[in-house]
Structure formats: C-alpha cells, structure tokens
Amino acid sequence: MNRGELNRLIERYYNGESAEEEELALRELFQSDDAPDGYADEKALFGYYESAGMIPAPSFDFESRILEGINASGLESKPLKSGRYLLPWLSAAATVLILFGSWFFFVHNRLAEDTYTDPKIAYAETMKILMDVSTKMNRGTRALEPISKIDQMASQSMKAVSRSTGRIGKNLEDIGNVLEPLGKAGK
C-alpha cells in the first residue's frame, strides 16, 4: 500500500467514513512489522485495539433487562418531598431574624446619653472637635484660592472691556456729531 492510499484510508478512518474492510486492512497493516515509519500514533492506536480485544455487542433485550432491574430494585423516581419539610424551617428562621432585628432596633436605638458629667469638660471637648473640623475645612478652602483669583481676574477683565466699549461708544458719538453738520452741508 503506498503512502497516498494509506493517508486517504487514515483520513477516512478518523472522519468515521471508512468501511469495515478498510478498517480491517489498517488494523492488519499497523499490527504487522511492515508498518511504514512516521505512523507511530496510528500503530499505537491499532495496537491498543488489539490488546483490548473485541467488546461484544449488547444482546437484543439488554435495555429491557436494565429497566426491569431498576424497577425491581424500587429505585423509581419519586417526587421530592423536601419542600414540605423545608418551608417550616425557613419560616422559623425568618421569625427569629425578625425578632432579633426588632430587639436590636428597639433596645439599641436609645437616645444618646451624656458622656460627660462635668459641663466644662464637655464644652472643652466640643470646642476641641469644632477646632479640628474648622482646621480641616480651612485647609480645604485654601485649595480653592486660585479659583477665587481667577474669578477676580475675570471681573477685572470685564470691567476693562466695559470701559473700552464705553470709550468707543463715546468716540463714535463724537464722530457722529462731527459728521452730522458735514452731511447737512453736502445736501
């Protein structure tokens, strides 16, 4: 058998298109010592088939015997009844969670109590906390100073533009006053 024909048979075998006679020819070729070089994988594959032996086909009544065995063992599928037992447990768990949540809400939700008995110490602590907050807020507003400078520059620029437009308007008015007598004289 030449390599071209051998490659065609192997390709048909792997695609599942080979006939039984072709498979038998491949099996005999790769089990013999005449197998060509370069086909080590196929030789190992067909060697495995030979060592594993032929697996007999199941008998005609194989499926019915399996089903009879299953029915005889009593392992028929039964509907699960876990829902009947699971629902009371879930209800009890939900009740416990609601009770615990209510207890936590009502018992631990008291008004804040005084932590200081001396009003002077309470005042000093309050001032200390407020100073800390004020310091942090001032630090944050310092970062906004460049923005206020930009705003000041924009307002100064707008004032300069307003002054310029005012002067231009006044000069145009003056030019109009000069041109008016000239226009009347030309008529």
Reported as a single tens digit per residue, the pLDDT across 10-38 is 888 888 888 888 888 888 888 877 777 78
Percent of the chain residues past pLDDT 90, beyond the cut: 7
Residue range 142-173, pLDDT digits in tens: 877 778 788 888 888 888 888 888 888 888 88
pLDDT at 79: 59
Q: Please, what is the angle between helix 20-31 and helix 40-52, to 10°?
A: 100
pLDDT (tens digit per residue) in 72-95:
776 555 555 666 778 888 889 999
Contact present, 6 and 22 (Cβ < 8 Å): no
Residue with more model confidence, 104 or 57: 104
Q: What is the DSSP string of 69-128?
A: HHHHHT-------HHHHHHHHHHHHHHHHHHHHHHHHHHS-PPPPPS-SSHHHHHHHHHH
Of the ranges 54-68, 89-103, 137-151, which is most confident? Answer: 89-103
Taking the model in full, what pTM does it have? 0.30
pLDDT, average across residues 33-48: 79
The domain spans of the chain are 3-52, 119-176
Average pLDDT over residues 104-123: 77
**What's the confidence (pLDDT) of residue 45?**
80
Q: How many CB atoms lie within 10 A of CB 86?
A: 11
| Measured distance CA(7)–CA(13) in Å, rounded | 10
Q: What angle do helix axes 3-15 and 20-31 make, rounded to 10 degrees?
A: 120
User: How far is residue 109's CA from residue 129's CA, in Å, rounded to a whole number?
Assistant: 24
Q: Each residue of 118-130: pLDDT tens digit?
A: 888 888 989 999 9
> Average model confidence (pLDDT) for the chain?
80
Q: Is 69 left (phi over 0), alpha (psi -120 to 50) or beta?
A: alpha
Lowest mean pLDDT among 51-60, 96-105, 174-183: 51-60
Residue 81 backbone dihedrals phi, psi, to 5 degrees: -110, 20
In whole angstroms, give the CA distance from residue 179 to residue 168: 16
Higher pLDDT, 185 or 60: 60
Question: Would you state the pLDDT for residue 98?
Answer: 92
Count of Cβ atoms closer than 10 Å to residue 19 Cβ: 11
In angstroms, how far is the first alpha carbon of the chain from the final one? 122
Residue length of the chain: 187
Q: What is the model's pLDDT at position 78?
A: 59
Residue 32 DSSP class: S
Cβ-count burial of 30 within 10 angstroms (0-12 exposed, 13-18 middle, 19+ buried)?
Answer: buried
